[in-house]
Amino acid sequence: MPQLSCKKLCLGYDGREIVHNLNFSIEKGDYLCIVGENGSGKTTLMKTILGLQPPVRGKVETDSSLKKNGIGYLPQQTLVQRDFPASVWEIVLSGCQNRGGFHPFYNKADKKLAEENLAKLGLSDMKKRCYRELSGGQQQRVLLARALCAASDILLLDEPVTGLDPKVTEELYSFIENLNKNDNITIIMISHDVQAALKYADKILHIGGKTFFGTKEEYLESEISDSFTKGGTLND
């Protein structure tokens, strides 16, 4: 059984249906990029997968092997979040709050996991630093480490490189690729950077006026990709 499937999924908000009859599935270790026009429902789809928003019709199914709270989420960061007055250690460790049910204090396993994810994202020497004093790329790595503490089966990433310069963008993409290739973590990422999507992902989901789901090679051969791959990047 696929790790996650969407079957005859219809999405919408404020009484308006924006995604119709969406069908796709992903396997453990896939790297899926979601692309499409502005307002096509990409973030709505992520919220539905997370159970934060009910579908209009259809359903999202997960494999029984997927752990409870097995999906981590890195949303688009707001200006308020960038100015959050906490240490790197506190933010990363807070990702452990919902693992294995509620407990009022962090245990040794929580702290060990936080240390491991700090190291994995190259943040061990920054653990005592204040989050709001970090660069945009460093902050995104902190939030990625936090998401890994929350869940290590699937990571949902909503425009994770927005506002980052090209060098830092490539570094963050490299960290995400390593999580996928070396740790076998399934990645589902919304991106306007189609060239990056085609470089790193193995599957593409295009939603909007037309829908496509398949390998990146199949996407490049499809008519639907033309207006997106020629421009390189979709403007938000």
Q: How many residues does the chain have?
A: 236
Interatomic CA distance for residues 189 and 164, integer angstroms: 16
Predicted confidence at residue 227, as pLDDT, reads 62
Q: Which residues contact 125 (CB under 8 A, 6 or more apart)?
A: none
Mean pLDDT of 154-162: 92
Does the structure show a pLDDT above 80 at 228?
no
Secondary structure string (H, E, C) spanning the chain: CCCEEEEEEEEEECCEEEEEEEEEEECCCCEEEEEECCCCCHHHHHHHHCCCCCCCEEEEEECCCCCCCCEEEECCCCHHHHCCCCEHHHHHHHCCCCCCCCCCCCCHHHHHHHHHHHHHCCCHHHCCCEHHHCCHHHHHHHHHHHHHHHCCCEEEEECCCCCCCHHHHHHHHHHHHHHHHHHCCEEEEECCEHHHHHHHCCEEEEECCCCEEEEHHHHHHCHHHHHHHCCCECCC
Predicted confidence at residue 102, as pLDDT, reads 55
119 alpha-carbon distance from chain centroid: 20
Does the structure show a pLDDT above 80 at 67?
no
Architecture of domain 1-35+50-66+156-165+190-236: 3-Layer(aba) Sandwich (3.40)
Q: What is the pTM of this model?
A: 0.88
Predicted confidence at residue 208, as pLDDT, reads 82
| pLDDT tens by residue, 69-83 | 688 899 887 654 677
| pLDDT tens by residue, 199-209 | 999 999 999 87
Does the structure show a pLDDT above 90 at 177?
yes
Mean pLDDT of 129-138: 92
Predicted confidence at residue 158, as pLDDT, reads 93
Where does the pLDDT of residue 99 fall: very low under 50, low under 70, confident under 90, or very high at 90 and above? low
In the chain, the amino acid numbered 159 is E
Is 66:186 a contact under the CB 8 Å cutoff?
A: no
Where does the pLDDT of residue 230 fall: very low under 50, low under 70, confident under 90, or very high at 90 and above? low
Of 16-25, 59-68, 90-99, where does the model show the most confidence? 16-25
Question: How many CA atoms are closer than 13 Å to the CA of 172, on its beta-carbon side?
Answer: 26
